[in-house]
């Protein structure tokens, strides 16, 4: 199978590049720049290479770099943003700090180049840079410009080396998809061989061999990711898989019973439900800092799984439904850490399993859903609202108590009911309630009240790496607010979050 190497130099959204490549039927894998050599790249027979963006300046000491040998491998290369600057720098060009940076939408003017086949002479592109290529290397030419950047794209046609200062992987670049297709199919000569049927077949065969004669314990939360992981692993290892569902007292309303009925009753999987509300809440008592919450929950999850493993006899593997956005936000290479996901950065350093296996670790949410449908999971389960592993712990600001969890459970259920009723068929990609640590004065029944402020959050996104706040109709918000303040005693004010990602994350903590 043709494959593209996405060489990661630390940009926060680098996996979007791999996702865009995969969407076009070509397999892409991301490798950190310091985890592979030029010789290994040659031996692995990549069809093409993409250098990603990154937050550094190539000319500064300690900036992520690579061996110049990569330019002589004869493999087509596309450098994006920092990746273009690095390629130019390695080839002998000059990269400097520009008098004025470019951020956001710009008008891109292109010339004749295989990279721009079918792209209008002028179109919109998305920029985010301060440095630029001031002098192109020998053998390269500038093939695109903007008002502020004379080298918006460069090319060495003879060696099939291309660079773009803008970001073709983002939707704001009008013809970015066409440019990526030109690189993949016109320049690299790739064939469309990557699809979810093939992923399932390969994964099942891989884990069937890997886990032969072994016991596998799967951490089942009931969310989309762990559910799809369970279905995939069950197909691979059958009754060697035992799913452990930890009810930590921080689930949505009625969720524990639904999970048990679905996987134990409907699919006949080996399922153990552990009711551990008191255990988790006691560990979280007095804790207010988000990272500590996540790490406490992550470690306690593992300890519960270990205990279940001991009860079952020796269990060899722990399986988790980790997907790539969990990994990237928990910190990767030179990318900055946004927050530690309980199943990634929150894992303790010592665990009593031979290995943790994560069959979905390199998939985006849309790919996970497609896998779930192809495995026969019901659409209602596959398209369920995403729910973080730490549950309501990251939707309760400040200290976590049972009283707060119960308040949030009821309020969140009302919000979800009203959105589902008022926006049927057009629901946001994710929507939920957050119990803030702020109280406000109100009037209820002609008496003064002093209750919690509840925040409602809804986002629209296709990858969960970036997201826009959803314009929920005012009548839906009004009805949700009225019901919450009337039916949930202890909440007297409701606000709506109108912040996109970035600068915010989808969750509040």
- pLDDT tens column, 29-71: 888 999 999 999 999 999 999 999 999 999 999 999 999 999 9
Whole-number Å distance between alpha carbons of 133 and 141: 11
Domain presence at residue 133? yes
- pLDDT category of residue 118 using cuts at 50, 70 and 90: very high
Q: Where are the alpha helices (DSSP H) in 44-195?
A: 82-90, 176-181
pLDDT at 480 over 90: yes
Contact call for residues 131 and 85 (beta carbons, < 8 A): yes
Catalytic position from the list 129, 156, 169, 181: 169
| 319 noted as active-site residue | no
The sign of the CA dihedral 76, 82, 85, 87 is: negative
The pLDDT of residue 328: 59
Contact call for residues 173 and 119 (beta carbons, < 8 A): no
Whole-number Å distance between alpha carbons of 223 and 387: 6
Whole-number Å distance between alpha carbons of 260 and 100: 58
| 169 noted as active-site residue | yes
CA angle 303, 306, 310 (to 5 degrees): 140
Q: Residue 401 burial (CB < 10 Å; 0-12/13-18/19+)?
A: middle
Q: Which of 161, 187, 213 is the last residue of a domain?
A: 187
Q: What is the DSSP letter of 185?
A: I
Contact call for residues 162 and 180 (beta carbons, < 8 A): no
The pLDDT of residue 204: 95
- pLDDT category of residue 333 using cuts at 50, 70 and 90: very low
Contact call for residues 146 and 107 (beta carbons, < 8 A): yes
The pLDDT of residue 260: 86
Domain presence at residue 297? yes
Query: What mean pLDDT is predicted for residues 263-292?
Result: 91
- pLDDT category of residue 342 using cuts at 50, 70 and 90: very low
In a shared domain, residues 431 and 354: no
Total number of domains constituting the chain:
3
- pLDDT category of residue 445 using cuts at 50, 70 and 90: low
The pLDDT of residue 330: 56
Structure tokens at 28: 């892409």
Stated length of the chain: 509
In a shared domain, residues 11 and 89: yes
- pLDDT category of residue 149 using cuts at 50, 70 and 90: very high
- pLDDT category of residue 283 using cuts at 50, 70 and 90: very high
In a shared domain, residues 29 and 105: yes
Q: Which of 327, 347, 382 is the last residue of a domain?
A: 382
pLDDT at 329 over 70: no
Catalytic position from the list 81, 188, 190, 243: 81
Neighbours of 127 (CB within 10 A): 22
The pLDDT of residue 100: 83
Whole-number Å distance between alpha carbons of 162 and 156: 6
Catalytic position from the list 102, 129, 156, 167: 167
In a shared domain, residues 172 and 229: no
| 329 noted as active-site residue | no
Query: What mean pLDDT is predicted for residues 431-452?
Result: 86
- pLDDT category of residue 443 using cuts at 50, 70 and 90: confident
Domain presence at residue 413? yes
């Amino acid at each position: 199978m043709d494959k593209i190497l996405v060489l990661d130099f630390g940009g926060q959204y680098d996996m979007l590049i791999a996702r865009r490549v995969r969407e076009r039927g070509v397999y892409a894998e991301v490798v950190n720049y310091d985890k592979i050599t030029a010789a290994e790249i040659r031996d692995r027979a990549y069809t093409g290479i993409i250098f990603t963006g990154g937050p550094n300046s190539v000319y500064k000491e300690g900036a992520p770099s690579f061996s110049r040998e990569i330019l002589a491998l004869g493999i087509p290369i596309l450098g994006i943003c920092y990746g273009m600057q690095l390629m130019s720098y390695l080839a002998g060009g000059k990269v400097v700090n520009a008098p004025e940076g470019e951020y956001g939408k710009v008008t891109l003017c292109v010339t004749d180049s295989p990279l721009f086949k079918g792209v209008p002479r002028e179109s919109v592109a998305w920029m985010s840079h301060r440095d630029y290529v001031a002098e192109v290397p020998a053998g390269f030419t500038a093939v695109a410009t903007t008002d502020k950047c004379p080298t918006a794209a460069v090319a060495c046609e003879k060696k099939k080396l291309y660079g773009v200062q803008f970001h073709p992987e983002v939707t704001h670049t009008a013809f970015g998809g066409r440019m990526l297709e030109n690189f993949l199919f016109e320049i690299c000569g790739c064939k469309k061989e990557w699809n979810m049927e093939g992923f399932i077949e390969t994964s099942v065969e891989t884990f069937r061999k890997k886990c032969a004669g072994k016991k596998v314990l799967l951490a089942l939360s009931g969310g989309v990711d762990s559910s799809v992981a369970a279905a995939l692993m069950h197909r691979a290892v059958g009754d060697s898989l035992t799913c452990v569902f930890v009810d930590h007292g921080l689930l949505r309303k009625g969720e524990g019973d639904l999970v048990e009925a679905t996987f134990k009753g409907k699919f006949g999987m080996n399922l153990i439900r552990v009711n551990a509300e008191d255990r988790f809440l006691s560990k979280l008592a007095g804790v207010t800092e988000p990272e500590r919450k996540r790490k406490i929950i992550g470690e306690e999850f593992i300890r519960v799984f270990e205990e279940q493993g001991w009860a079952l006899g020796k269990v060899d593997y722990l399986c988790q439904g980790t997907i790539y956005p969990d990994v990237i936000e928990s910190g990767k290479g030179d990318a900055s850490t946004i927050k530690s996901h309980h199943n990634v950065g929150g894992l303790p350093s010592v665990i009593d399993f031979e290995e943790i296996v994560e069959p979905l670790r390199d998939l985006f949410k849309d790919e996970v859903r497609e896998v779930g449908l192809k495995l026969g999971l019901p659409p209602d389960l596959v398209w369920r609202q995403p729910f973080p592993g730490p549950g309501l712990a990251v939707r309760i600001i400040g200290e976590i108590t049972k009283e707060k969890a119960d308040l949030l459970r009821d309020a969140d259920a009302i919000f979800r009911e009203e959105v589902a009723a008022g926006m049927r068929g057009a629901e946001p990609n994710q929507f939920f309630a957050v119990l803030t640590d702020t109280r406000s004065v109100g009037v209820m029944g002609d008496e003064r009240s002093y209750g919690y402020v509840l925040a409602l959050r809804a986002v629209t996104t296709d990858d969960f790496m970036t997201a826009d706040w959803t314009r929920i109709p005012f009548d839906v918000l009004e009805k949700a607010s009225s019901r919450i303040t009337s039916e949930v005693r202890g909440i007297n004010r409701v606000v709506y979050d109108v912040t996109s990602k970035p600068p915010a994350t989808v969750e509040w903590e």
